[in-house]
Amino acid sequence: MNPENELSSNNPSPRAGSWPLWEVFIRSRQGLDHKHAGSLHAADARMAIENARDVYTRRMEGVSIWVVESRHLHASDPDEAGALYDPANDKIYRHPTFYVLPDELKNM
């Protein structure tokens, strides 16, 4: 166990704050992709997967679990939303709605 995660004597009842936060992604039985299910605390990756199993798959929600420490996720800045997303508003030609999809093509 890493020293920073320890259940040390001066902290006899560890709070969630002493363990890092993890983001959980679950693939459901019919699902093709892993979807964000929520977050939880765990001391390491193996415990994070076990915790995710116990917290997020109790009702048969999933057949596969990914976890990643939250600090490894980088998010876009909400203040920049205008610059980032608004320019796409008037460019409908970017949608593939002008094509006829072949029947063989599934999952589009």
Partner 1 sequence: MRRDQHIHYLLHLADDSLILGHRNSEWTGHGPILEQDIALSNISLDLIGQARNLYQYAARLVNRERGMKEKVLPGVKVSGEVSEDTLAYFRDSRDYKNCLLVEQPNGDWGKTVLRQFLFSAFQFLLYDRLKQRDDQQVAAIAEKSIKEVAYHLRWSSEWVIRLGDGTAESHRRMRHALEDLWLFTGELFVAAPYEQELLAEGYGADLSSCRLPWEDTILETLARAGLFPPEDGTSNGSAHTGSAIMTRSRAGGKEGQHTEHLGYLLAEMQFLQRAYPGCEW
Binding site for partner 1 (CB under 8 A): 1, 6-9, 13-16, 19, 40-43, 46-47, 50-51, 54-55, 58
The answer to whether residues 38 and 65 touch, using CB atoms and an 8 Å cutoff, is no
* Minimum distance of partner 1 from residue 61's CB (angstroms): 14
SS3 (DSSP) at 107: coil
Q: How many CA atoms lie within 13 A of 97 on its CB side?
A: 5
Contact call for residues 37 and 25 (beta carbons, < 8 A): yes
Q: How far is the CB of 73 from partner 1 (least distance, A)?
A: 19
User: Which is closer to partner 1, CB of 36 or CB of 85?
Assistant: 36
Q: Which is nearer to partner 1, 3 or 102 (CB)?
A: 3
Helix (H) and strand (E) counts for the chain?
A: 2, 3
Minimal distance in Å, beta carbon 72 to partner 1? 19
Q: How far is the CB of 38 from partner 1 (least distance, A)?
A: 11
- By beta-carbon proximity to partner 1, the closer residue of 28 and 57 is 57
Which of 34, 37, 43, 30 lies closest to 1, judged by CA?
A: 43
